[in-house]
Amino acid sequence: MPKNKLSLMFESIFKRDVLSGNTPKPELTVDVHAHVLPQLDDGPVDIEQSIEIIKEMYAMGYRKIIATPHVMAGYYNNAPEDILQSLHILKTVLKRRNITMELEAAAEYYLEDELFRLVECHKVLTFGGSKKYLLFEASFVTKASYILEAVIKIKQAGYTPVLAHPERYVSLNDLEVINRLSFNGALFQVNIGSLTGYYSKQAQELAELLISKKLVAFLGSDCHSIAQLESIKHAFKLKTFKEATQLNILNNTLMEKKITVFA
Ligand SMILES: [Fe+2]
């Protein structure tokens, strides 16, 4: 069939963008776990550090970041309004400096009884709009039964539980346990850095197992500093990263404005 004028025009734009190297990385444009809001947790100490990280992530192909500061009673008492105020300030500065990264905020909730209270009275920040993804983490030695209890309670309250970096928990080094959490509605967010062995050999192996069993819903940078982005860049080159991005992960479904190769 002969090509019409419009398709030839798109083809030439496509070729030009690919050749110029301006095409954003199509495999991962949204980060769902990043400590980029200043002075709320163990992430950036000021707004300049936040901007430095965001600019570097833009260069890596990211176009949207869900900022997820820690919430932990007695350590990081970040109420939704504190987080949203910090987001507003950072977004204002980004706009003033013509940095086009899309930015939203949720949180990384620490698994403790206080989390159950926050969930019951709906004082939590989630991402994904009506999907209400709630990101939570546990201590690295938390019992699997406590994680399961959290999954059930979070779900009962009307949220979608997303367990941060499951590969890093000692008690989850067991496929049967992982499957039980998944069966009860847990989604898993694997840290990209885990694929390089950045955290530990055991975390790397469990991350690889989760990928091979197609149990990864989200990939996250869990970035706290610009230095940490080096391990993410390294992971981008790995076969396991490519495999993970081919699993219908949900990151890019969170992009409101669809990025195409013509953009
Ligand atoms: Fe984190």
Q: What is the pLDDT, as a whole number, of residue 17?
A: 35
129-141 b/e (C-beta count within 10 Å ≥ 16 → b): eeebbbbbbbeee
Q: State the average pLDDT over residues 113-141.
A: 97
Q: What is the pLDDT, as a whole number, of residue 255?
A: 87
Q: What is the pLDDT, as a whole number, of residue 16?
A: 36
**Residue 178: pLDDT above 90?**
yes
Q: Average pLDDT over the chain, rounded to whole? A: 90
Q: How far is the CA of 55 from the centre of ligand 1 (A)?
A: 19
* Lowest mean pLDDT, pick from 14-28, 38-52, 141-155: 14-28
- Helix ranges, 97-200 (H): 113-120, 144-156, 175-183
Q: How far is the CA of 137 from the centre of ligand 1 (A)?
A: 8
Q: What is the pLDDT, as a whole number, of residue 131?
A: 97
User: Looking at the domain assignment, is residue 22 inside a domain?
Assistant: no
Amino acid at 227: A
Confidence band, pLDDT 50/70/90 cuts, at residue 257? low
Q: What is the pLDDT, as a whole number, of residue 9?
A: 43
* Lowest mean pLDDT, pick from 20-29, 30-39, 86-95: 20-29
Q: How far is the CA of 119 from the centre of ligand 1 (A)?
A: 19
Q: Which domain holds residue 217?
A: 28-254
Q: How far is the CA of 219 from the centre of ligand 1 (A)?
A: 12
pLDDT tens-digit map of 45-83: 999 999 999 999 999 999 999 999 999 999 999 999 999
| CA-angle at 243, arms to 230 and 17, nearest 5° | 70
Q: How far is the CA of 130 from the centre of ligand 1 (A)?
A: 23
Nearest alpha-carbon partner for 171 in 213, 211, 141 = 141
Q: How far is the CA of 70 from the centre of ligand 1 (A)?
A: 7
User: Looking at the domain assignment, is residue 45 inside a domain?
Assistant: yes
User: Looking at the domain assignment, is residue 86 inside a domain?
Assistant: yes
User: Looking at the domain assignment, is residue 260 inside a domain?
Assistant: no
- Only one residue has tokens 């989760």, namely 210
Q: How far is the CA of 34 from the centre of ligand 1 (A)?
A: 6
User: Looking at the domain assignment, is residue 69 inside a domain?
Assistant: yes
Q: How far is the CA of 186 from the centre of ligand 1 (A)?
A: 17
Rounded CA-CA distance 54/201 in Å is: 28
Q: How far is the CA of 229 from the centre of ligand 1 (A)?
A: 13
**Residue 11: pLDDT above 80?**
no
**Residue 14: pLDDT above 90?**
no
8-state DSSP, 66: E
Q: State the average pLDDT over residues 177-204.
A: 97
User: Looking at the domain assignment, is residue 15 inside a domain?
Assistant: no
Q: What is the pLDDT, as a whole number, of residue 25?
A: 46
**Residue 256: pLDDT above 80?**
no
Look at residue 146 and give its three-state secondary structure.
helix
User: Looking at the domain assignment, is residue 19 inside a domain?
Assistant: no
Q: State the average pLDDT over residues 156-180.
A: 97
Angle between helices 80-96 and 47-59 (to 10 degrees): 70
Q: How far is the CA of 18 from the centre of ligand 1 (A)?
A: 34
Confidence band, pLDDT 50/70/90 cuts, at residue 26? low
Which H or E run includes 208?
helix 201-212
User: Looking at the domain assignment, is residue 117 inside a domain?
Assistant: yes
Q: How far is the CA of 19 from the centre of ligand 1 (A)?
A: 36
Q: What is the pLDDT, as a whole number, of residue 135?
A: 98
Higher pLDDT, 224 or 4: 224
CATH number, position 246: 3.20.20.140
Nearest alpha-carbon partner for 219 in 47, 85, 93, 66 = 66
The number of domains in the chain is 1
